[in-house]
Amino acid sequence: MKGNFYDILKARFLVNEDATKNWRFIVFLLLLAIIMIANTHSYEKKIFQIADLTNDVKELRSEFVDRRSELMKIKMESTVAEEMVDKGILPSSVPPKKIKVIKEKTPWYKIWQ
């Protein structure tokens, strides 16, 4: 047992006759480690991108709400009336009337002509 432990410490398993299969296994483990590290880096990169995009969405949503409230204020009748008074246009004192257009029915015999 003591001899096996010293052989491992001195790395004799890497220089003896069947060392090629040991080297292959070590190279395989190194490749797997490199792939795992690359995968972790790409995962973290995507997490940071998602966080940035989430912040952008929050900012754009708040800007949208601000613009929509401004638009609602601008579209109000009182705001439009104030703007038009400055230009000399006053609101009408006569309320608007609704106009109904009634479509006439075409007789069936005129459809086939």
- Taking the domains of the chain in order of start, what are their residue ranges? 1-86
> What are the residues whose beta carbons fall under 8 Å from the beta carbon of 65, sequence distance 6 or more?
none
For 1-11, what is each residue's pLDDT tens digit?
Answer: 666 777 666 67
In our burial notation (b when 16+ CB lie closer than 10 A, e otherwise), range 24-54 reads eeeeeeeeeeeeeeeeeeeeeeeeeeeeeee
Whole-angstrom Cα distance, residue 29 to residue 25? 6
The answer, as to whether pTM is greater than 0.85, is no
For 10-26, what is each residue's pLDDT tens digit?
Answer: 677 677 777 777 788 88
Asked if 91 and 84 touch (Cβ cutoff 8 Å), the reply is yes
Q: What is the mean pLDDT of the chain?
A: 86
